[in-house]
Amino acid sequence: MRGWIVGMALVMVAAAGSGTAQQASFYDLTPRTLDGKPGNLAQYRGNVSVVVNVASFCGYTPQYAGLERLYRELKGKGVTVLGFPSNDFGEQEPGSAQEIATFCRTNYDVTFPLFEKVVTRAGAGQSPVYAFLGRSGSLPAWNFGKYVIGRDGKVVAFFPSDVTPEDPQLRASITKALANGAK
């Protein structure tokens, strides 16, 4: 029996080592920007990031306004907001990249970085960004789930859709992440 357990452990280790290497930091990922250009999250290394799966036609869509206020208020202090459009929940982000950009700019004056539409759900086709974020034990159950990423690129907190950008718990998590590893 002991030999069988050791053999199974070796098979599991070999299986875990197959495929692509897992990134150690969120800032190692390279998603494409909303305009289709290669993106590089390394430019945010050393900052605190709030990562949000966004959608244009959701009951939570007005949170764009709060996310933009958060971004403008804290970007000079080392915080960025990063939006990842997703059509996973209720097909509430059906538009093209250009339609998403126009909607965000026209309706909410969004200036924080937006990336290509992604699949947040686990399984085939899941974005590498959300595969990484999901290793924290949390994946969004709906649009506007929020992750706080520390300066080191590790997930420090997750907040579900109903937690607004103004919520004191989200703000406290950002403040704590800023204090940890302060430059």
pLDDT at 4: 36
Q: From CA 59, how far away is CA 141, in angstroms rounded?
A: 14
The catalytic residues are: 58
pLDDT along the chain (183 residues), means of 10: 38 33 86 94 97 98 98 97 98 97 98 98 95 97 98 97 98 96 62
CA distances from 75 to 78, 93, 111 (A): 5, 26, 11
Domain definitions of the chain by residue range: 21-179
pLDDT at 1: 47
pLDDT at 11: 32
* Phi, psi for residue 52 in degrees, rounded to 5: -135, 135
pLDDT at 183: 56
CB contact at 8 A, 52 and 84 = yes
Q: From CA 122, how far away is CA 64, in angstroms rounded?
A: 25
Q: pTM here?
A: 0.87
Overall residue count recorded for the chain in this entry: 183
pLDDT at 10: 32
pLDDT at 7: 37
Q: Give the SS3 label for residue 164.
A: coil
DSSP string for 101-154: HHHHHHHH---S-BB--B--SSSTT--HHHHHHHTTT---SSTT-EEEE-TTS-
CATH of 21-179, one of 1.10.3720.10, 3.30.1330.60, 3.40.30.10, 2.60.40.1180: 3.40.30.10
